[in-house]
Amino acid sequence: MLKMVFLFPKFLLAGEERLIFLPKEPVFESLIADPREPHASVNIQDGLNAYEGSIGSVIELLQWRPADQSRWGWGILEGAYIGLGNADYSSYPKRVVFDNGWYIYNAFPERVSDWQLGVYFSEASGEFSHRLEYVHFSSHLGDELFDYVPRFIYTRESFRFTSSFQPSDNIRVYAGVGYWGHIDPAEKPFFIHAGTELFTDSFDFLFKTIGRGYLGYDLKLKDEAGGIVNHSFQLGLQWKFKKETRQAIRLALLYYNGNSEYGQFYRQKDDHWGFGIYFDP
């Protein structure tokens, strides 16, 4: 039995097969225009939230590369999203904090925060890649709205399968379908997801760095709250230190139209423009 245990990893790595722990690149590339794809960003906008911030990542734990040139991955994804201030906040009484004789107004009221954590399996072969994920979502009303907005429990578990086609470095299209295995408040559980990413050729940028223009579009169709259609656009610049690296900063003009992506306000319309800074790991 002990001999078989020691032979097992050798069998996995025999020939051209490789099993990689914590690979540098995931099998399925992140969807840059999806507001709920794990990412790190800071946004300013004219919508329900005056400011938004997020922190999150996709961590590929294991990647298997068999002899047929396909790639298989397994990992976790997590994200946290926060909305601060909003155009309607002036209608609420200002909350004042008394501290050492000074009256201090909270200039950045927290409206809402969303959280997600999940696991995924992915596969890629040639120009196609796929990801199957199971993710837990929850949404929490911000402290500054406790006295003014009715809050409720928002929690969901999502199964989603997404396929991506990328014939070149300049274009990518994707589509998928999802199902809420558990959903509270109760709603219809199915949703559809699709989008595209378009990039220009690379060009020399500041201080001998590399730039690329890009356009991203993400569409979600949800069979909840009477039917929801969410559109998300990004038009901007991807900025890299070197062309071959994955790490990048993106500066983007944003437009969003649909219902709020934040669970506590998922029945509420959200139409806004904004500007964002994104950090791609």
Whose structure tokens read 């004042």?
96
CATH number at residue 188: 2.40.160.40
**208, part of any domain:** yes
**98, part of any domain:** yes
CA nearest neighbour of 214 among 183, 194, 238, 178: 238
Residues 229, 213: Cα–Cα separation, whole Å:
27
Q: List 42's β-bridge partners, or say none.
A: 53, 277
Structural domain boundaries enclosing 214: 16-273
**30, part of any domain:** yes
Q: List 258's β-bridge partners, or say none.
A: 270
Q: Reduce the secondary structure of 151-195 to three states and give it as a string.
A: CCCEEEEEEEEEEEEEEECCEEEEEEEEEEEEEECCCCCEEEEEE
Predicted confidence pLDDT, tens digits, the chain (281 residues) = 444 443 444 444 445 789 999 998 999 999 999 999 999 999 999 988 999 999 999 999 999 999 999 999 999 999 999 999 864 544 444 444 444 544 444 556 788 999 999 999 999 999 999 999 999 999 999 877 777 778 899 999 999 999 999 999 999 999 999 999 999 999 999 999 999 999 999 999 988 899 999 999 999 999 999 999 999 999 999 999 888 888 999 999 999 999 999 999 999 999 999 999 999 98
Answer yes or no: are the C-beta atoms of 139 and 262 closer than 8 Å: yes
Record the tokens describing residue 123, joined without a space.
């596969």
Whose structure tokens read 């696991």?
119
Quick one: DSSP state of residue 93? P
For residue 137, give every residue at least 6 positions away whose Cβ sits within 8 Å of its Cβ, in sequence order, or none: 114, 115, 116, 154, 155, 156, 157, 158, 263
**39, part of any domain:** yes
Task: Count other C-beta atoms under 10 Å from residue 105's C-beta.
Answer: 9
**2, part of any domain:** no
**40, part of any domain:** yes
Task: Count other C-beta atoms under 10 Å from residue 189's C-beta.
Answer: 17
**1, part of any domain:** no
Record the tokens describing residue 79, joined without a space.
């994200």
CA nearest neighbour of 79 among 209, 271, 261, 264: 261
Q: What is the pTM of this model?
A: 0.86
Task: Output the pLDDT for position 85.
Answer: 82
**59, part of any domain:** yes
In degrees rounded to 5, what are phi and psi of residue 256?
A: -135, 135
Number of domains in the chain: 1
Task: Output the pLDDT for position 54.
Answer: 97
